[in-house]
């Protein structure tokens, strides 16, 4: 029973990280119908930003660990959001009226550019990431199934989901985002600045990915320039599984994927952990291409 609960918590932790990344995929797709394959690199850049800022503060200051985490997380969010917006302006905005394949190719190119940029600027090796999350007194190693970092990841993810839900459902910008996703032309006719909406969407998506990058780096204790690629692909699978374009679907798909990987690694083999995501992708594309919460769209020609 203890092993089962351990796998459940591990699956929830993975699913939470995937959800933070998948939200960016599904929001961008919902607004401009683009699969932003460079989104995983924004997640990676967020982790590296926290490593640099947090490492500097840990060495040169006497600030409390949680204060260092807050500063590093804030820096990662703003820096990643800057990259996300810049990427949209340079690589995607000029291609909005181009065929989807053109924009998709641009996204793959941006992914490779950002990967190799970080590889040259930092290193191709894995770097140690010293955790900024202090151990809580009520969580004693060896006695508790839940680690401190897992608890922080779960609480942070729930908080982000709640804030994002409130933002989309009850704010003016959220209504503008929903209107733009439904019909960009009509949204413009009623006075909505769709360029502003798209920019805001990239900011929010990049920020959530950065939060995920910082949290998983604290959890695993290491990062590399390549972590964004695999995490991004898995988050994309989660978004498709739940229903691309659906925010609840992105969260549900991420949890299902995280649980599948956790139980597959625990009861089958950890050597095939990464393969489970792609097996799920193949199955969902065959039997329910729209995803769990998605719906088939009739495209007018």
> What single string gives the DSSP state of each residue in 214-237?
HHHHHHHSEE-TTHHHHHHHHHHH
293 in a domain, yes or no? no
Asked if the structure places residue 274 within a domain, the reply is no
> What phi and psi, each to the nearest 5 degrees, are found at residue 96?
-60, -35
| Cα–Cα distance, 85 to 36 (Å, whole number) | 12
Q: How many residues does the chain have?
A: 301
Containing H/E element for 240? helix 227-242
* Whole-structure pTM value: 0.90
In a domain, 257, yes or no: no
Rounded Cα–Cα distance for residues 81 and 74 (Å): 11
Q: How far apart are CA 218 and CA 17, in angstroms?
A: 12
Contacts of 65 (CB under 8 A, 6+ apart): 132, 133, 134
| Predicted local confidence at residue 18, as pLDDT | 93
DSSP 270: G
Task: Count the domains in the chain.
Answer: 1
Residue that has been written with the tokens 């950002």 in this structure: 114
128 secondary structure, DSSP code: E
- Please provide residue 222's backbone torsions phi and psi, each rounded to the nearest 5 degrees: -160, 155
- pLDDT for position 274: 82
Tokens for 106, please give them. Answer: 């641009």
Please check whether residue 79 is in contact with residue 213, taking contact to mean a CB–CB distance below 8 angstroms: no
In a domain, 242, yes or no: no
Return the H-helix or E-strand segment holding 180.
Answer: helix 172-182
Instruction: Check: CB of residue 220 under 8 Å from CB of residue 127.
Output: no
- Do 127 and 223 touch, CB atoms closer than 8 A? yes
The dihedral over CA atoms of 73, 46, 42, 168, expressed in degrees to the nearest 10, equals -10
270 belongs to a structural domain: no
Distances (CA, A) of 75 to 7, 100, 292: 32, 33, 35
* Assigned domain for 18 exists: yes
- Domain presence at residue 102: yes
Closest CA to 19 of 238, 214, 281, 295: 238
- As given in the structure block, the two tokens for residue 178 are 């929903």
Is 298 within the bounds of a domain? no
Separation between Cα atoms, residue 261 and residue 253, nearest integer Å: 12
Per-residue pLDDT of the chain (301 residues; tens, 9 = 90+): 778 888 898 899 999 999 999 998 999 988 888 889 999 999 999 999 999 999 999 898 888 888 999 999 999 999 999 999 999 999 999 998 888 889 989 999 999 999 999 999 988 889 999 888 877 655 555 556 778 888 889 999 999 989 998 999 899 999 999 999 888 889 998 899 999 999 999 999 999 999 999 999 998 899 999 999 989 999 998 998 888 888 888 899 999 999 999 998 888 888 888 888 888 888 888 888 888 877 665 555 4
The range of the structural domain enclosing residue 142 comes to 2-227
pLDDT of residue 301: 47
């Amino acid at each position: 029973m203890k092993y089962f609960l351990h796998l459940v918590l591990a699956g929830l932790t993975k699913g939470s990280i995937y959800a933070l990344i998948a939200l960016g995929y599904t929001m961008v797709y919902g607004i401009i119908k683009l699969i932003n394959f460079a989104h995983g690199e924004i997640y990676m850049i967020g982790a590296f930003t926290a490593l640099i800022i947090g490492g500097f503060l840990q060495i040169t200051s006497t600030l409390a660990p949680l204060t260092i985490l807050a500063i590093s997380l804030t820096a990662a969010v703003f820096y990643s959001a800057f990259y996300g917006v810049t990427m949209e302006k340079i690589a995607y905005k000029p291609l909005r009226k181009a065929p989807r394949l053109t924009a998709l190719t641009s996204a793959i190119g941006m992914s490779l550019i950002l990967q190799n940029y970080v590889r040259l600027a930092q290193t191709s090796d894995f770097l140690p990431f010293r955790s900024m999350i202090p151990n809580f007194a009520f969580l004693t190693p060896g006695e508790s199934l839940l680690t401190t970092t897992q608890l922080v990841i779960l609480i942070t993810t729930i908080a982000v989901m709640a804030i994002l839900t409130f933002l989309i459902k009850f704010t003016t910008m959220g209504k503008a985002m929903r209107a733009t996703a439904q019909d960009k032309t009509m949204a413009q006719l009623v006075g909505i600045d769709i360029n502003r909406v798209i920019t805001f969407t990239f900011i929010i998506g990049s920020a959530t990915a950065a939060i995920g990058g910082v949290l998983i780096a604290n959890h695993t204790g290491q990062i590399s320039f390549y972590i964004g690629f695999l995490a991004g692909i898995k988050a994309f699978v989660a978004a498709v599984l739940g229903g691309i374009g659906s925010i609840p679907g992105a969260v549900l798909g991420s949890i299902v994927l995280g649980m599948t990987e956790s139980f597959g690694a625990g009861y089958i083999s950890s050597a095939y952990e990464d393969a489970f995501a792609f097996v799920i992708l193949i199955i969902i594309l065959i039997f329910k291409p729209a995803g769990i919460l998605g719906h088939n769209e009739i495209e007018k020609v």
